[in-house]
Amino acid sequence: MENTNIDRETLRELADEGNETAWDRLADLADAAGDLEELSELLDEGRMHAGFLLTRRAAAVGDLRELQRIRDAGYDEAGRELDRLLKG
């Protein structure tokens, strides 16, 4: 995906067609905008890059409940971060 100025609607269409880079770009845009709701929706759709971004945010502030939610949504790294913080 070469055009970095592509709009969200087009990105979503590409993502729905199976373009993994488009999914990741949607997550990156949501993260940059601080749109945690959109990131959570992407995670609920099984997009692991969104899980990575949410985990990074939750671990940075020590949000154990959010890490549990992300882990329960299927992103294993959140569980590792949760264990690390609990042992910390």
- Tokens 């990575």, residue located: 52
| Inter-residue long-range contacts of 53-61, CB under 8 Å, 24+ positions, other chains counted | 53/27, 53/28, 54/78, 55/81, 57/31, 59/84, 59/85
Confidence at residue 6, expressed as pLDDT on a 0 to 100 scale: 80
2 falls within a domain: no
How does pLDDT run across 27-66, given as a tens digit for each residue?
Answer: 999 999 999 999 999 999 999 999 999 999 999 999 999 9
Half-sphere exposure of 47 (CA within 13 A, CB side): 26
Structural domain contains residue 1 = no
26 burial type by CB count under 10 A (0-12 exposed, 13-18 middle, 19+ buried): buried
Full-model pTM: 0.87
pLDDT, position 69 = 96
How confident is residue 88, by pLDDT bands cut at 50, 70 and 90? confident
Asked if the structure places residue 38 within a domain, the reply is: yes
Q: Domain tally for the chain? A: 1
Task: Identify whether 3 is part of a domain.
Answer: no
Q: Domain of 59?
A: 8-87
> What percentage of the chain exceeds 90 in pLDDT?
90
